[in-house]
Amino acid sequence: MESPPTHATPVDFETDPSRYRHWRVSYDGPIATLAMAVDPEGGLRSGYELKLNSYDLGVDIELADVVRRMRFEHPEVRVVVLTSGLDNVFCAGANIHMLAASTHAWKVNFCKFTNETRCEIEDAEAYSGQVYIAAVNGPCAGGGYELALACREIYLQDDGSSAVSLPEVPLLGVLPGTGGLTRLVDKRKVRRDRADIFSTTAEGIRGKKAVEWRLVDGVYPRSRFREAIAGRSAALAAELARALPAAERRGIHLGPLLPELSAGRRRYRHVELSWDDNARLARLTIHGPTAEDVALLGRGAEAAHAAGDQLWALRAFRELDDAILHLRVNLPGVGVVLVRAVGDAAQALAHDHALTELRGDWFINEVIRHMARALRRVDLSSRTFFALGDAGTAFVGALFELALAADRFYALDDEDAPVQVGLSPLNFGALPMTHGVTRLRAHLHGEPEQLSRLGEAAQLLSVGDADEAGLVTVRLDGIDWDDDTRVAIEERLSLSPDALSGMEANLRFPGAENEDSKIFARLSAWQNWIFIRPNATGAHGALTLYGKPERPHFDWNRV
């Protein structure tokens, strides 16, 4: 089995259009075409070929970059046509040989990143007025159909061979766990008995039956497939233009982050991630906005546009996002992450106010939506996060979301080094969690009276007042700070990482589920469990033997 990446060969989650190997993007006014044309020899690791538009993490990293750049660099786009650039195939899904050769941790992080990108496609429709439609011009299987399911509409070529399928259960002994089953019944409203048949039929379903069962929205013969897709794209773009009148939107370029790299450290402009492999401990520090950052926003939307990707709120949270992805995939041994938000509390509050005042501008809206996505990446990461509110920190507003996302928030109550925490307008709905609620509401889920007392007023609080309001986990004085935090960290590091991952995933999302939270909860529980069962990945498991003449041997006991 191939080893996962080491620190000497980390996965780089940054890319740009000049480096794409697997996607072709073209623009025609309000309509963009995104064609999947995977280079078979372009795998992120060696040992497998990406045949039939199958994909690995490298293909998904490029797709994530496309989706994000579409929002920031091409806001004029209303409709994105997602199709295949290869003949006779749409997408065969995740590359089976890559999965079979990967460690369990690699499979899990790959699946998680894949689905976060699909959620971003849906987020673009919900908040940016960019709608994706899938033009399925060939067989579409497994993760390929899951990619199509992330689009609002799916159209299938009717040519006798093109079909949609989710064949993981019958062929691989796993399941469409990165959103497939959930989107099938929750989003497309496919009846669950029909979904049962569909998900156990390896060859899939095509033609009028696929339309009848709501698996696709329409079928067109090969002879007029392109014409039909072009007509639907134009009509949908016109419809969206009427619903969302287009002010002049000038895209901004997303430049590279270029962190400074050294042993055990990634230093960005506003974020720093350092780690000790032997101690299994990392430190994540984000530096808050300055008076200059506040003043820039005070000059209005045009000044923010001119700042572009250097705007603090965009740059800092892009750096945070990149650091979290590096932590997930390249630092598997790190168990505890200590989070600090450094800066001036009053400036952080003023910055959030200024950002909120400009939220009607398309660019500022995109910035805030990106901040929300980066914070959700923290929520969904299987690491213990302890937020440390000691001298020099400013857990305020958007930065306080990091304390709320953490599993515990330790705050120093010391007259000689006063610490303030605080709430801004961004804490009351602009930065929702995966299940659609604010972190503040999730944090105080069992204490509605505390939530109502806080109201929705922006405020700076002393540590004592924040503790009284239920916003602090442990309040410590200067005498106890070092010893108590050290003991808490040591105790956490002594516990089973598997047990902690399960515990944290259960505790972070109190309250009702929605479609997205179901997807990630089921990915964490069902898919992860199935991936380590011998029926899938054992020596005689279905995933291990895929493509070989031997038949899998199953343990027939239901567990």
- Radius of gyration from C-alpha coordinates of the chain: 24
Q: Which residues contact 258 (CB under 8 A, 6 or more apart)?
A: none
- By DSSP bridging, strand 140-141 and strand 420-423 are unpaired
Can you give the pLDDT at residue 455? 82
Long-range pairs for 527-533 at CB < 8 Å and ≥24 separation?
527/108, 527/111, 527/174, 527/175, 527/177, 527/178, 528/104, 528/108, 530/173, 530/174, 530/175, 530/177, 531/104, 531/107, 531/108, 531/174, 532/104, 533/173, 533/559
Query: Which residues, in sequence order, are bridge partners of residue 273?
Result: 266, 284
Domains parsed from the chain with CATH numbers: 17-243 (3.90.226.10), 262-507 (3.90.226.10)
**Phi and psi for 339 in degrees, rounded to 5?**
-110, 130
As a whole number of angstroms, the distance between CA 373 and CA 366 comes to 10
Token match 């990967």: residue?
Answer: 102
As a whole number of angstroms, the distance between CA 498 and CA 417 comes to 38
Chain CA centroid to CA 252, Å: 22
DSSP labels, 8-61:
TSPPP----GGG-SSEEEEEETTEEEEEE---TT--SSSS---GGG-B-HHHHH
Can you give the pLDDT at residue 523? 83
Query: What pTM did the predictor assign?
Result: 0.95
As a whole number of angstroms, the distance between CA 534 and CA 541 comes to 6
As a whole number of angstroms, the distance between CA 177 and CA 113 comes to 13
Tens-place pLDDT, residues 39-91: 999 999 999 999 999 999 999 999 999 999 999 999 999 999 999 999 999 99
- By DSSP bridging, strand 23-28 and strand 79-84 are unpaired
Long-range pairs for 270-275 at CB < 8 Å and ≥24 separation?
270/312, 270/315, 270/316, 270/319, 271/316, 271/319, 271/320, 271/323, 273/323, 273/326, 273/327, 275/327, 275/331, 275/334
Query: Which residues, in sequence order, are bridge partners of residue 36?
Result: 23, 84
As a whole number of angstroms, the distance between CA 35 and CA 483 comes to 56
Token match 């503040």: residue?
Answer: 440
Instruction: Decide if 282 contacts 331 (C-beta within 8 A).
Output: yes
Long-range pairs for 497-500 at CB < 8 Å and ≥24 separation?
497/335, 500/335, 500/384
Tokens of 66: 């496309």
Residue 214 DSSP symbol: T
3-state secondary structure 136-164: ECCCEECHHHHHHHCCCEEEEEECCCCCE
CB atoms within 10 A of CB 285: 18
What Å distances lie between residue 23 and 64, 66, 79, 118, 137, CA to CA?
11, 9, 17, 16, 16
Instruction: Decide if 533 contacts 544 (C-beta within 8 A).
Output: no
Report the Cα–Cα distance between both ends of the chain, in Å, rounded: 27
Tokens of 523: 């990915």
What Å distances lie between residue 531 and 12, 66, 351, 414, CA to CA?
25, 29, 45, 49
Per-residue pLDDT of the chain (559 residues; tens, 9 = 90+): 344 444 458 999 999 999 999 999 999 999 999 999 999 999 999 999 999 999 999 999 999 999 999 999 999 999 999 999 999 999 999 999 999 999 989 999 999 999 999 999 999 999 999 999 999 999 999 999 999 999 999 999 999 899 999 999 999 999 888 899 999 999 999 999 999 999 999 999 999 999 999 999 999 999 999 999 999 999 999 999 887 766 678 899 999 999 999 999 999 999 999 999 999 999 999 999 999 999 999 999 999 999 999 999 999 999 999 999 999 999 999 999 999 999 999 999 999 999 999 999 999 999 999 999 999 999 999 999 999 999 999 999 999 999 999 999 999 999 888 999 999 999 999 999 999 999 999 999 999 988 888 888 888 999 999 999 999 999 999 999 999 999 999 999 999 999 999 999 999 999 999 999 999 988 877 778 888 889 998 999 999 999 899 999 999 988 7
Q: Which of 547, 484, 550, 423 is nearest to 100 (CA)?
A: 547
DSSP labels, 70-88:
HHHH-TT--EEEEEESSTT
CA angle 143/171/168 to nearest 5° reads: 30
Instruction: Decide if 235 contacts 162 (C-beta within 8 A).
Output: no
Tokens of 174: 């796993």
Chain CA centroid to CA 410, Å: 27
How deeply is 475 buried, as exposed, middle or buried, from its count of CB atoms within 10 A (0-12, 13-18, 19+)?
middle
DSSP labels, 461-489:
EEHHHHHHTT--SEEE-TTTHHHHHHHHH
Token match 């006014």: residue?
Answer: 29
Listing from the earlier edge strand, what are the strands of the sheet with 31-36? 23-28, 31-36, 79-84, 131-136, 153-158, 218-221
As a whole number of angstroms, the distance between CA 133 and CA 326 comes to 31
As a whole number of angstroms, the distance between CA 528 and CA 109 comes to 10
As a whole number of angstroms, the distance between CA 22 and CA 43 comes to 10
Q: Which residues contact 466 (CB under 8 A, 6 or more apart)?
A: 411, 421, 472
Q: How many residues does the chain have?
A: 559
Can you give the pLDDT at residue 338? 98
Instruction: Give start and end residues of each alpha helix (H) in 399-445.
Output: 400-405, 439-443
As a whole number of angstroms, the distance between CA 89 and CA 92 comes to 7
Tens-place pLDDT, residues 114-162: 999 999 999 999 999 999 999 999 999 999 999 999 999 999 999 989 9
